[in-house]
């Protein structure tokens, strides 16, 4: 209907979406600490979106830090590397944040011996070289999605690159500390990516609640082809589609990817890893995470460090990631993987009582960044009505959690939507 089309545009232009969350950036002002070398690490053979790697080493082999220990011949995959030097003790299925996966357990010898790698000549790298080196370093999206970065860098017809420094989830401040402490390295990594994609215009999106980061980047990028954009501090501003719309006003099509509108987005941690790989030859073997337990801090940890070895808390809920989209864990006996951005201990279920019937208040509709009707999709999910739920565009939901956050009836909306999304995908 024509009238609804006008009304639709009018309401969306105001971008009244998302929720204002309490930022709780408890450790934003503390410098990144370096974790002591772990005694053992468990490296899952799949830490990314895509196919699992096959192990390249055997039990009993001695490996050095940065040595490739798993790889795959599939297109959508990324290799994994040893994050400590020592002996491979086990190759078996273990509990990881992504469920039970085959893993390589390495017992550290405490010596931290690094594999010798060649430091590439950065100025002589071609697009293919950059893509190869990024792949060989095992770099995946470190904002949480863990998509293999080298595939993103293969995109054609890109005219904009956006560095995602939004970090909209409460508690997390690892990206912020990286931006403040490694500003130059991030800019260098970003320029390499822009060269690889043949992009003339770059943007850095940083939420307004991080004025120091904004200032640092602005000072270094005055009058360059990289523009620093201050973003509204609202959740989920850091979600890819929302970020691209805020900066370029382009809408990623439903079911599509940012490359469909000529944009590539990368997280701050990913770009820093690209710098480490291409300027120092270091593969992805450590990352900064925000830990919120009895002693909150931002910690530089080796990939594969077990959560139980570095945290201490008496709270009953452990979330890996941010509090809005992270995954609750059943045990502390899981390793930190490439996509883990935070380890957060929360009080037991932050909800009062049982879910009630939907009162049609419309708050979920108001906050949904994808303009969906979460209340209806959840209702259809409850009654297994797959076609109706698909008719309400359930597959467009990226599970940000805004709807369940505001629901006064405490309905687990995201849970229901996830359930029906899986059913719809199975039916397709």
Partner 1 sequence: MQITSSPHIHSRNNIGKIMWNVVIALLPTTIAGIYFFGTPALIIIVTSVFSAILTEAVSQKLMKKELTIKDGSAVVTGLLLALVLPPTVPVWIPIIGAIFAIAIVKHAFGGLGHNIFNPALAARAFLVAAWPMTMSTFSFDGVTTATPLATLKHGIKASYFEMFIGNIPGAIGETSALALIIGGIYLIFNKIIDLHIPLGYIATVFILTLFADPLYHLLAGGLLLGAFFMATDYVTTPITKQGKLIFGIGCGILTVIIRVYSKLPEGVMYSILVMNALTPLIELVTKPKPFGYKK
Per CB under 8 A, residues contacting partner 1 are: 1, 4, 7-8, 11-12, 19, 21, 170, 241, 245, 251-254, 256, 316-319, 323-332, 344, 346, 348-352, 356-363, 365-366, 369-373, 375-376, 392-393, 396, 399, 401, 404-410, 412, 414-415, 418
Shortest gap between Cβ of 45 and partner 1 (angstroms)?
24
Shortest gap between Cβ of 318 and partner 1 (angstroms)?
6
Q: At what angle do helices 174-181 and 211-220 cross, to 10 degrees?
A: 30
Bond from prior residue into 236 cis (ω within 30 degrees of 0): yes
CB nearer to partner 1: give 111 or 422: 422
Nearest to 25 by CA among 226, 172, 221, 219: 172
Shortest gap between Cβ of 81 and partner 1 (angstroms)?
30
Residue 9's SS3 state is helix
CB nearer to partner 1: give 130 or 411: 411
Query: What is the greatest pairwise CA distance in the chain?
Result: 70
CB nearer to partner 1: give 48 or 363: 363
Shortest gap between Cβ of 363 and partner 1 (angstroms)?
7
Measure the CA–CA gap between 289 and 172, rounded to whole angstroms: 8
The tokens 């970090």 sit on which residue? Answer: 167
Nearest to 319 by CA among 294, 286, 291: 291
Q: At what angle do helices 413-427 and 374-382 cross, to 10 degrees?
A: 70
Q: Do residues 402 and 235 make contact, with C-beta atoms less than 8 angstroms apart? A: yes
CB nearer to partner 1: give 274 or 414: 414
Q: Do residues 341 and 330 make contact, with C-beta atoms less than 8 angstroms apart? A: no
Cα–Cα distances in angstroms (integers) from residue 17 to residues 32, 235, 257, 308, in the given order: 33, 9, 21, 37
Q: Do residues 238 and 193 make contact, with C-beta atoms less than 8 angstroms apart? A: no
Shortest gap between Cβ of 96 and partner 1 (angstroms)?
15
Shortest gap between Cβ of 250 and partner 1 (angstroms)?
9
The tokens 């996509």 sit on which residue? Answer: 339
Shortest gap between Cβ of 1 and partner 1 (angstroms)?
6
> Across the beta sheet with 201-207, what order do the strands follow?
226-231, 201-207, 160-165, 263-267
Q: What share of the chain is helix, strand, coil (3-state, %, to 5)?
A: 30, 20, 45
Q: Do residues 63 and 57 make contact, with C-beta atoms less than 8 angstroms apart? A: yes
Task: Report residue 82: phi and psi, to 5°.
Answer: -75, 135
Shortest gap between Cβ of 247 and partner 1 (angstroms)?
15
Shortest gap between Cβ of 366 and partner 1 (angstroms)?
7
Q: Do residues 43 and 70 make contact, with C-beta atoms less than 8 angstroms apart? A: yes
Q: How far is CA 228 from the centre of its chain?
A: 21
The tokens 């480490």 sit on which residue? Answer: 276
Nearest to 176 by CA among 212, 204, 142: 212
CB nearer to partner 1: give 15 or 119: 15
CB nearer to partner 1: give 51 or 317: 317
CB nearer to partner 1: give 33 or 396: 396
Shortest gap between Cβ of 120 and partner 1 (angstroms)?
38
CB nearer to partner 1: give 211 or 408: 408
Shortest gap between Cβ of 76 and partner 1 (angstroms)?
23
CB nearer to partner 1: give 60 or 255: 255
Residue 235's SS3 state is strand
CB nearer to partner 1: give 223 or 331: 331
Residue 280's SS3 state is helix
CB nearer to partner 1: give 74 or 316: 316
């Amino acid at each position: 209907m024509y009238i609804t089309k006008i009304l639709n545009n009018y309401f969306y232009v105001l971008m009244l979406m998302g929720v204002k969350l309490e930022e709780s950036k408890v450790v934003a002002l503390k410098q990144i600490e370096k974790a002591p070398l772990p005694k053992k690490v468990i490296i899952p053979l799949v830490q990314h979106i895509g196919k699992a790697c096959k192990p390249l080493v055997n039990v009993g082999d001695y490996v050095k830090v940065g040595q490739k220990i798993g790889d795959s011949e599939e297109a959508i995959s990324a290799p994994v590397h040893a994050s400590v030097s020592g002996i491979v003790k086990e190759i078996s299925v273990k509990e990881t944040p992504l469920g039970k996966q085959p893993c390589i357990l390495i017992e550290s010898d405490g010596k931290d011996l690094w594999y010798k790698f060649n430091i590439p000549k950065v100025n002589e790298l071609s697009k293919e070289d950059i893509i190869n080196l990024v792949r060989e370093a095992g770099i995946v999206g470190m904002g949480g999605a863990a998509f293999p970065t080298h595939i993103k860098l293969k995109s054609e017809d890109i005219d904009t690159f956006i560095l995602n420094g939004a970090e909209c989830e409460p508690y997390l401040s690892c990206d912020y500390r990286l931006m403040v402490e490694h500003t130059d390295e991030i800019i260098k990594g970003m320029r390499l990516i822009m060269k690889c994609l043949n992009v003339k215009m770059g943007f850095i999106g940083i939420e307004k609640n991080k004025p120091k980061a904004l200032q640092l980047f602005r000072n270094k990028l005055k009058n360059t082809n990289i523009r620093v954009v201050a973003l509204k501090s609202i959740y989920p501003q850091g979600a890819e589609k929302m970020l691209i719309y805020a900066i370029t006003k382009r809408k990623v099509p439903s079911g599509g990817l940012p490359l469909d509108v000529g944009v590539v987005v990368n997280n701050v941690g990913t770009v820093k890893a690209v710098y480490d790989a291409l300027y120092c030859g270091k593969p992805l073997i450590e990352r900064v995470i925000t830990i919120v337990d009895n002693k909150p801090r931002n910690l530089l940890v080796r990939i594969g460090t077990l959560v139980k070895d570095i945290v201490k808390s008496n709270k009953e809920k452990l979330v890996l990631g941010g509090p809005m989209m992270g995954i609750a864990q059943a045990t502390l006996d899981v390793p930190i993987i490439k996509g883990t951005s935070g380890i957060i201990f929360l009080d037991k279920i932050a909800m009062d009582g049982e879910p009630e019937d939907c009162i049609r208040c419309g708050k979920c509709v108001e906050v949904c960044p994808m303009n969906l009707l979460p209340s209806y999709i959840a209702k259809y999910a409850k009654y297994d009505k797959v076609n109706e739920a698909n008719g309400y565009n359930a597959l467009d939901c990226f599970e940000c959690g805004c709807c369940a956050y505001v629901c006064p009836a405490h309905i687990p909306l995201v849970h229901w939507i996830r359930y029906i999304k899986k059913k719809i995908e199975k039916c397709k």
